[in-house]
Structure formats: structure tokens, C-alpha cells
Amino acid sequence: PGVQQRRNSWNDGVLGTNCPIPPSWNWTYQFQVKDQIGSFFYFPSTNFQRAAGGYGGFAINNRVFIPLPFGTPEGDIDIFIADWYNKNHT
């Protein structure tokens, strides 16, 4: 399952709900992952972006007032991720 887009399902990012992001532009998604703990994935959804690579970051904010089943993080966490094809399919 993916991240539940509460109150902003239009922000899902798939072609049809959003226009493609033009080259050299960027788009900042802002959403709450409230009460959602687990592993999630992030990927580009148009053909060229899949071949050229999808890059993006997550800023995970520390929220000490939400009880978690593990220790409180020391602070906010920034993660940068990327994915691209690494094989020639000709």
C-alpha cells in the first residue's frame, strides 16, 4: 500500500491528477503521514522520467507528541532518493 493522501488526494502525482513536471522545474509535495508507520516507495510515473531517473527528497519532521512504539527521534531527518534504469533494453 502507498501513503494515504488524506485531504489532498489530487496531490497523488500520477499523470492525470497532475501535469508532468517540465525539465529544470521542481514541485514540492506537502502531506501528512499521520498514523502511518512502515515502508513506502517513491517512483517516477512517466516513461522519460523512468529512463532518465527520478530524484527527490523527504523531510521527516520529528513530532514528539505522537506516541510511537519505539524511541523518539533525535530531530528531523532529511532523505534524498533516486532511481533510474541501469540496463540497456535495445
In a domain, 13, yes or no: no
Task: Give the domain extent around 44.
Answer: 32-90
Dist CA 3 CA 33 (whole Å): 7
Domain count, the chain: 1
The per-residue pLDDT string of the chain (90 residues; one tens digit each, 9 = 90 and over) reads 566 777 766 666 666 677 777 778 877 777 777 777 666 666 666 666 656 666 777 777 766 666 667 676 677 778 887 766 666 666
In a domain, 53, yes or no: yes
Per DSSP, the residues of 8-64 read -GGGG-SBTTBPPPPTT---------TT--S-------SHHHHHH-EEEEEEE---T
Query: Does residue 15 contact residue 45 with C-beta atoms inside 8 Å?
Result: yes
The whole model's pTM is what? 0.43
